[in-house]
Amino acid sequence: MAQKTLAPLLEEAQKFTSPRQSQFRDSIVTSIYRTAEQIAGDVVSHTSTSRRDFDRQIDNIITSPVWGFPIMFGVLAVVFWITIAGANIPSGLLATGLFWIEARLTDLFMVLNAPDWLHGFLVLGVYRSLAWVIAVMLPPMAIFFPLFTLLEDLGYLPRVAFNLDRFFKKAGAHGKQALTMSMGFGCNAAGIIACRIIESPRERLIATLTNNFVPCNGRFPTLIALVSIFIAGSVSLSLSSAVATMAVAGLVVFGIAVTLSISWLLSKTILRGKPSSFTLELPPYRKPLVGQVLIRSVLDRTLFVLSRAVIIAAPAGGLIWILANTTIGSATLLSIIAGWMDPLARLMGLDGFILLAFILGLPANEIVLPILIMSYVCGGAMTELSSLADLRHLLVDQHGWTWLTALCTMTFSLCHWPCGTTLFTIQREQHSWRWTLLAALIPTAVGVIVCILINNLVRAAGLIV
C-alpha cells in the first residue's frame, strides 16, 4: 500500500531531478560536508592549527589549476630520471655476473659431454632469457617501485586523482579512474583489481578496458632502452639522461591522453551513461615510513613482478630456442612465422620479428625485448648484450632499425593487448569472456591504427626513406 502511495511521488521526483542529476548530487554532497564542517567546528577544538594550515597551503599549490599539472609532470619526470640514471650501472654489473655464470655452465656441459641440443635449450634458451630479464628488469623495478610507494605514502597520489578528476568527468568516466590508472603504472593486473573502488559498474568497466594504455613496469625496460638508444643517443652525453627522461615522461602523457580519448569514446557508444559524482577526501600529508615502504615495495611489488616474469620467461626462452633452431628446408620455423607477419608489420613501421615478439610475449610484457633479441640472432641464441651499445649495434647496424622503427615499436608497446595475467584478472573481475576479449581488441586496434598512421605520415612527409 505504501509502495503504491510512494510510486507516483518517486516518479515525479525522478522527472524533476533527471535533467540536473549531476548538479543535484553535488548539491547534496556539498550540503552534507557543510553540515559536517559546522558540527566539527562546534565540537572539535585544536590546540594548534599550524599543521592543518600547512597542509592547506601545500594543497593550494599542488592542486591549483595553474601549478598542479606542471608539478605533476615534474614529479613524474624526476621519478623516471632517477630510475633511468640509477639503473644503468647495476644493470651492467648484473649482466656481467649472470653471463659469467653462463660461461661456467657452458664449461660444465662440456665437461659432462652433454649433447649440443641440451646445452642450447637449457643454457642458451632458458638460462639466457632469465639472465636478460633479471639484468634488465630488476634495477629499474628496485628503484621505481620504492619511489612510487613513497609518493603513495606521502599522500601525493590522491592529489593526482583530484587534479585529473575533471578530465575523466569530461570523458564520461569516474574521477577515481586516476587512482586505478596510477596503480597500472606498477602492474596493470593490480590496476584492474583496484577498479573495485569505482561503485558504478559502467564506469568501472571503462576503467578496466582502458587501464592497459598506461605502461606497466614490464614495458618500461623496453621503452627506456629504445629511448636511450634512439633519442638520448642523438644528443650529447651530458644531456642524454635528461632527454631520455623527458621522452619517457612524454610517452606516459601520450598514454594518459589515449586513456581519456578511449574512455570518452566508450562513454558515448557501447557504455553510454552519465558520469557519477564522487567525493575524494584528501588525506593529510605524512612523513613516509621509509623502512615499511622499502619492505612493501620490494616484497609486494618488485619480487612479485620479477618472479612472475622469471616463471614465464623460462619456458618462453626454451620455446623460442626450439622455434629458432627447428628448420624447414633452409629456414627456421621462427623466421617462417615472422615472414608471414612481415607485410602487416611493415605497414605498421615494424618488421615480422618485432610483431612476433609481441605475440610470443603475451605471457608477460617483460620478455618482449629478450624474445626479439633472440629472434634476431643467427643460430637461434641470444647474444651476450651487456650494454646498450651492443643492443644498438644489433638493432641498427644488423637489422636496419631507424628512429621510425623505434617510435612505432614504442607506440605499439603502449597500445596492444594486455599480458596474460591482466587478461586473466579482467575475466575474474568481470566474469565475462566478452569484455575480456574486448579488453584485448580495443588497445590492439588503437595500436595498429596509430602505428600505420605514424609510419605512412612520416614517410609521406619525406622525413625518412
For the cut 80, the answer to whether the pLDDT of residue 123 exceeds it is yes
Q: Please report the pLDDT score of residue 139 as a whole number.
A: 78
Nine cell digits for residue 376:
634476431
Phi, psi values for residue 464, rounded to 5°:
-150, 145
CB 76 within 8 A of CB 249: yes
Q: Calculate the average pLDDT of the chain.
A: 81
Cell of 452: 600505420
Those residues whose C-beta lies under 8 Å from the C-beta of residue 200, and which sit 6 or more positions away, are 174, 273, 276
pLDDT tens-digit map of 152-201: 788 887 788 788 888 888 888 887 788 788 778 767 877 888 888 887 88
Selected residue with higher pLDDT from 88 and 153: 153
In a domain, 374, yes or no: yes
Residue 121: partners with Cβ closer than 8 Å, 6 or more residues away: 318, 321, 322
405 pLDDT exceeds 60? yes
User: With 60 as the cut, is the pLDDT of residue 381 above it?
Assistant: no
Residue 201 included in any domain: yes
Q: How far is the CA of 461 from the CAs of 351, 455, 465, in angstroms?
A: 21, 10, 10
Residue at 278 is within a domain: no
Residue 338 domain flag: yes
Domain assignment of residue 21, yes or no: no
As a whole number of angstroms, the distance between CA 93 and CA 85 comes to: 14
- Yes or no: say if 399 and 374 are a contact pair by the CB < 8 Å rule: no
In this structure, what DSSP letter does residue 45 have? -
> Cα–chain-centroid distance for residue 345?
23
Angle ∠(344,349,354) on CA atoms, nearest 5: 75
Asked whether residue 255 is domain-assigned, the answer is: yes
**SS3 assignment, position 282:** coil
pLDDT tens digits along 248-297? 888 888 999 999 999 999 998 988 877 676 666 777 788 877 777 777 77
* pLDDT in the model for residue 17: 60
| CB-based contacts of 317, cutoff 8 Å, min separation 6 | 125, 126, 127, 128, 129, 130, 367, 370, 374
Domain count, the chain: 1
Q: What are 310-340's pLDDT values in tens digits? A: 776 778 778 888 888 888 887 888 889 989 9
* DSSP bridge pairs for 327: 332
pLDDT over 90 for what percent of the chain? Answer: 21
**In the structure, what pLDDT confidence band is assigned to residue 420 with cuts at 50, 70 and 90?**
confident
Q: What is the dihedral of CA 302, 305, 307, 311, to 10 degrees?
A: -160
Q: Which three cell numbers stand for residue 296?
A: 612493501
Q: Is the pLDDT of residue 385 over 80?
A: no
- Please tell me which residue, 227 or 34, carries the higher pLDDT value: 227
Other CB atoms within 10 A of residue 244 CB: 25
Which candidate, 209, 205, 243, places its Cα nearest to that of 227? 243
Given a cut of 90, whether residue 234 has pLDDT beyond it is no
Position 215 scores a pLDDT of: 86
* pLDDT tier, 85 (very low <50, low <70, confident <90, very high otherwise): confident
**Quick one: pLDDT at residue 411?**
94
Residue 218 pLDDT = 74
Res 225: pLDDT = 81
51 domain residue, yes or no? no
Q: Of residues 450 and 190, which shows the higher confidence score? A: 450
Cα separation, 173 vs 200, whole angstroms: 10
Structural domain that includes position 223? 67-272+289-461
Amino acid at 247: A
Average pLDDT of the residues in 72-82 = 82
Q: Counting every residue, how long is the chain?
A: 465
Decide which of 212 and 185 is more confident.
212
Write out pLDDT tens, residues 333-375: 888 998 999 999 999 999 999 999 999 888 778 778 878 887 7
Give residues with Cβ within 8 angstroms of 255, minimum separation 6: 213, 214, 215, 414
Q: Decide which of 40 and 275 is more confident.
A: 40
Query: What pLDDT, on the 0 to 100 scale, is given for residue 3?
Result: 52
Name the phi and psi angles at 316, rounded to 5: -65, -40
Q: What is the pLDDT of residue 16?
A: 63
